[in-house]
Amino acid sequence: MRSLNKDPSGSRAKVLRVLMTMSVVLAALWSTSAEAIPLFNRQTGQNCVACHMGGQFPELTPYGRLFKMTGYTLGQRVAAPVSVMAVASMAKISNTTKLGDPASPYDFDKNSSLTFSTASLFLGGKVTDNIGAFVQITYDPYATQSADGAYHGHTGADNIDLRYADRFIDNSRDLIVGVSMNNNPSVSDPWNTVAAWMQYAPVPSPGSNLFIDGNTPFPSFGAGGNIAGVTAYAFWNQTVYAELGAYQSSKGLLSFMSAGLADADKTRLKGTNPYWRLALNHEWGAHSLMIGTAGMVANIYDDPLDTSDPSTVHQTRDWSVDAQYQYMLDPHTVTAQFVYAKQHARVSDAAMAALEAAPGAPNADDTNVTRGKLTYTYNARYGGSLAVFSLKGSQGNLSPDPATRGITYEAFVTPVQNVRIGAQYTTYSIFNGASENYDGFGRNAKDNNSLFLYVWAAY
């Protein structure tokens, strides 16, 4: 394994070479025809900044939220409802030498190497005046790794959101109602403080990306994605938003919701599992404020390949409170986000029996994630963000202390529409319950500090 500490000057030179290579990628993107714009821009005729704060996809503006809630149907239907996205990136972990445990799970492959991280194909937009869709199919070049160390790419369903929506406006009301069929709880949500959207930068698979911001604690649902659900929602007078739904396993006619996943990697749910979302929204002048809550209860089979035994079902109960403030007045945009998410995870009876737990032994763990982020953009071109995160969990029950805390600093530039270049630096003060020697083999939390550089383009 390579050491980054033996030759600091060589490491710096390698980073510079990576930056130069990324600049070449940017130059190629710059020369691309200006006619190539994302699907929804072609449909609405609007610039990126109309739907996305400071043009920074995927964070939505008030107009962008209305576009989503009205079923992606604003504007004219386009002849080729297709867009593509690709990411090139490089990750560098602070220290790759303190791995005293030969059974360590850490794999720092591709450290300081420029990688083609991921690519996505988007389909959808307006189908009829009331029906629209958002479908993301993603290719991961590092999806699997064979015994000889070679990586193998794989394509599969990522986010799917199929909608029917209508809007009723008169002198006393403005009411949007709709139904979403989707494969990821909260992917239908119009705010960016929920599990599906707060983590926005695509996360590459190689081990060198283990500690970048996209892999730090974020709000999440125990059920995960690639399941199948139907939710109904309403947005009254642009003030009160409510969404209720239910999820099951993606099988039968709905198996396309988890297309590309091996059966052993799918989530198998028992019965119907409820999901809810409530939010209060207020907009005035250049300002927008939302305060909300969301939650889900999921009953999940331990083994997705064997759903015959009800004693092998474990349960997760998730709930969260969140808030988002936006200021948008050219040339400035500001977004402040906050979320507190709590999960109660109960182990299945079969798993408790396998552990030979004594009668009355605790069979559940509680974890909570707190995350805040402040983002500023100038002239829809230059910007930066500061994010803080904290994960805490119950101790002495079924799992070791998961406590993790840190900060992510980010700077980005959008030199041309639909292309973003960014640099993130994530620092850790606590990892897995300790600041020093957290693994018992001399590794400290700060050894996980990581630099992440990316070029992200969508057309």
Which percentage of the chain shows pLDDT scores above 90?
69
Determine the pLDDT at residue 319: 97
Query: What ranges do the domains of the chain cover?
Result: 8-458
Determine the pLDDT at residue 24: 42
Q: What is the tens place of the pLDDT at every residue in 105-154?
A: 567 889 999 999 999 999 989 999 999 999 999 999 998 888 777 889 99
Please state, in angstroms and rounded to a whole number, the distance separating the CA atoms of residues 221 and 326: 25
Of the CA atoms within 13 Å of residue 396, those in its CB half-sphere come to 1
Determine the pLDDT at residue 2: 34
**pLDDT at 452 > cutoff 80:** yes
**pLDDT at 421 > cutoff 70:** yes
Q: What is the tens place of the pLDDT at every residue in 326-339?
A: 999 999 999 999 99
Q: Of 71-75, 194-198, 437-441, where does mean pLDDT reach its minimum?
A: 437-441
Q: Could you write out the three-class secondary structure of the chain?
A: CCCCCCCHHHHHHHHHHHHHHHHHHHHHHHCCCCCCCCHHHHHHCCCHHHHEHHHCCCCECHHHHHHHHCCCCCCCCCCCCEEEEEEEEEEEECCCCCCCCCCCCCCCCCCCCCEEEEEEEEEEEECCCCEEEEEEEEEEEEEEECCCCCEEEEEEEEEEEEEEEEEEECCCCEEEEEEEEECCCCCCCCCCCCCCCCCCCCCCCCHHHCCCHHHCCCCCCCCCCCCEEEEEEEEECCCEEEEEEEEECCCHHHHHHHCCCCHHHCCCECCCEEEEEEEEEEEECCEEEEEEEEEEEEEEECCCCCCCCHHHEEEEEEEEEEEEEEEEECCEEEEEEEEEEEEEEECCHHHHHHCCCCCCCCCEEEEEEEEEEEEEEECCCEEEEEEEEEEEECCCCCCCCCCEEEEEEEEEECCCCCEEEEEEEEEEEEECCECCCCCCCCCCHHHHCEEEEEEEEEC
**pLDDT at 51 > cutoff 90:** no
Please state, in angstroms and rounded to a whole number, the distance separating the CA atoms of residues 345 and 224: 13
What is the pTM for the complete model shown? Answer: 0.87
**pLDDT at 6 > cutoff 90:** no
Q: What is the tens place of the pLDDT at every residue in 235-278?
A: 999 999 999 999 999 999 999 999 999 999 999 999 999 999 99
Average pLDDT in the chain = 87
Q: Which fold has domain 8-458?
A: Porin (2.40.160)
Phi and psi at 350, nearest 5°, equal -65, -40
Q: Of 74-88, 91-105, 442-456, where does mean pLDDT reach its minimum?
A: 91-105
